[in-house]
Amino acid sequence: MKFFIDTANLAEIQEAYDLGILDGVTTNPSLMAKENISGHENVINHYKAICDIVDGDISAEVIATDYDGMIAEGLALAALHPNIVVKIPMIKDGIKAIKYFSSIGIKTNCTLIFSAGQALLAAKAGATYVSPFVGRLDDISMDGIKLIEQIRLIFDNYGFETEILAASVRNPIHILKCAELGSDVVTCPLSAILALLNHPLTDSGLAKFLADHKKSADL
């Protein structure tokens, strides 16, 4: 399973990359705004900075919601770096844009997926990734993890090559459930990745090993 980090914060991207487990990055307009990245030039430079840190797929989201606008924006984003994946919302014109980008070999990530039907349409259009939002479904008392299971079954039934990129993944349980169900990728904040490190028995076990080592060294 691939790990992507879901942030536009360069320090966090660097920290995850330095861990040696990072396969890519997802961003969205809200994450860019959180880092105070605004204005065309700054946004473009920020994507370039991310590409300089991580050698892996970097999702950059279009702002346009009409076909022509998404095509123009997507072509410009894709021209920035070979690792850029054009992130396109799950809307009617988005599906048409995904079909076009797929026909010319530009990678896409269909975002804001909340149902298996949406994922199926995006895969039919040739999306490289679909992004089901696990956490936001949980937020409205629906089962986000169940959606991953459903999409996995459908994609496997028909051999779709579209990868399931579980998004809005917010904690270690989400990550593990996605791994159990065969999600191809999870994208989550650095905090969720780092939380996988923790176990109280690891901490107490290490403390005991070090104490015993010190005791024997003191003899």
CB nearer ligand E4P, residue 168 or residue 214: 168
Nearest to 127 by CA among 150, 92, 100, 151: 100
Instruction: By CB under 6 A, tell whether 136 contacts ligand E4P.
Output: yes
- The yes or no reply on residue 133 touching ligand E4P (CB under 6 A) is yes
Pick out residues in 71-130 that bind ligand E4P (CB under 6 A). 111
Give me the residues paired with residue 3 across strands: 186
Among 26, 83, 108, 118, binds ligand E4P (CB under 6 A): 26
Q: Cα–Cα distance between 11 and 158 in angstroms, integer? A: 40
Distance (Å, whole) CA 219 – CA 103? 72
Instruction: Name the residue among 6, 58, 54 with its Cα closest to residue 30.
Output: 6
Which one among 8, 88, 167, 185 touches ligand E4P, defined by CB under 6 A? 167
Q: Which residues contact 2 (CB under 8 A, 6 or more apart)?
A: 23, 24, 56, 184, 185, 186
Structure tokens at 184: 């191809």
Query: Judged by CB under 6 A, does residue 2 bind ligand E4P?
Result: no
208 is annotated as an active-site residue: no
Q: What track of x and - describes contact with ligand E4P for positions 27 through 46 (by CB under 6 A)?
A: -x------------------
The residue annotated as part of the active site, out of 2, 34, 48, 87, is 87
For 76, which DSSP code? H
Site for ligand E4P in 190-209 (CB under 6 A): none
Binding site for ligand E4P (CB under 6 A): 6, 26, 28, 111, 131, 133, 135-136, 167-168, 170, 187
Residues assigned a catalytic role? 87
